[in-house]
A and B are shown apart, each in its own frame.
Chain A
Amino acid sequence: AQTVTQSQPEMSVQEAETVTLSCTYDTSESDYYLFWYKQPPSRQMILVIRQEAYKQQNATENRFSVNFQKAAKSFSLKISDSQLGDAAMYFCAWVRGGSQGNLIFGKGTKLSVKP
């Protein structure tokens, strides 16, 4: 069975600094997608960034970027120039490629941003 592990229950960063959230996953599939979702205190999950497993280039979305290490099954999220609004729960998620399957989530990392 596929699993997603986030080893950091909580992280803290100073405003304007950079923080990296860790995620590892376990799968025997070769075709899959990886995601980072943000869940602010209002509880609605928001997609932050996605990565296709077949792409070697790391995805980037403005201040958010990933370090995707396929062989190591590692998918970390880097947030640059952290802002107060970045404070939230962050969930790493995996889904099988193709037309079937459902997202499998890690347990999340709670990010605090200090002013």
Chain B
Amino acid sequence: DTGVSQDPRHKITKRGQNVTFRCDPISEHNRLYWYRQTLGQGPEFLTYFQNEAQLEKSRLLSDRFSAERPKGSFSTLEIQRTEQGDSAMYLCASSPSGTGGMDGYTFGSGTRLTVV
């Protein structure tokens, strides 16, 4: 297992288009998280899954955003009708469940989205 993989690494899209990102977590990790990071800021939580269940969503996750983890393995994050304010790095992370957060998360390299 090579860690958390994210695809694509970079995405440039025109305003109003839809985009979808993929995250493949570490295989034995039940939890998967999505964060957004803008330049010069810390990551901001968007949502997380335990297996296929989406357990929490941030208020940052507007109705244009949707995330899925259909089989409890990889996850997708879709942004509909993109806006320039969506330009950011989208980070995925995974962790084992049942460890009370003590293990921290393993992060992927992120997908950098630029909306023009």
A107 to B112, CA, bound (A): 18
A102 in contact with B42 given A33-B102, A43-B109, A97-B101 (CB within 8 Å): no
A106 to B41, CA, bound (A): 8
In B89-116, the 8 Å CB interface with A consists of: 89, 91, 93, 97-98, 100-102, 104-110, 112
The number of residue pairs between A and B whose CB atoms lie closer than 8 Å in the complex comes to 71
Shortest CB–CB separation between residue A111 and chain B, in angstroms? 14
Known A-B contacts: A43-B110, A105-B43. Give 16 more (CB < 8 A): A33-B101, A43-B89, A43-B112, A44-B109, A45-B105, A52-B102, A93-B42, A97-B101, A98-B101, A102-B48, A102-B56, A103-B33, A103-B93, A104-B45, A105-B42, A105-B44
Q: Do the beta carbons of B42 and A96 come within 8 Å of each other?
A: no
Binary contact track A1-39/B, C-beta < 8 Å → 1, others 0: 000100000000000000000000000000111010100
Instruction: Out of A45, A96, A108, name the residue touching B107 (CB < 8 Å).
Output: A45
- List 23 A–B pairs whose Cβ atoms lie within 8 Å, in order of A's numbering: A33-B100, A35-B104, A43-B110, A44-B107, A45-B105, A46-B107, A47-B104, A47-B105, A47-B106, A50-B104, A91-B43, A93-B42, A96-B101, A97-B102, A101-B101, A103-B45, A103-B101, A103-B104, A104-B45, A105-B42, A105-B43, A105-B44, A108-B42
User: Chain A: residues with CB nearer than 8 A to chain B?
Assistant: 4, 31-33, 35, 37, 42-47, 50, 52, 91, 93, 95-108
Q: Do the beta carbons of B42 and A99 come within 8 Å of each other?
A: no
Instruction: Out of B55, B97, B100, B110, name the residue touching A97 (CB < 8 Å).
Output: B100
Number of interface residues of B (CB under 8 A): 26
Q: Chain A residues with Cβ under 8 A from B109's Cβ?
A: 42-44
Shortest CB–CB separation between residue A6 and chain B, in angstroms? 8
Q: Do the beta carbons of A107 and B100 come within 8 Å of each other?
A: no
Q: Chain B residues with Cβ under 8 A from A50's Cβ?
A: 102, 104
A50 to B104, CA, bound (A): 8
Q: Chain B residues with Cβ under 8 A from A96's Cβ?
A: 101
Q: Chain A residues with Cβ under 8 A from B56's Cβ?
A: 100, 102
Q: Which residue of B lies closest to A105 (CB)?
A: B42
Q: Which residue of A lies closest to B97 (CB)?
A: A99
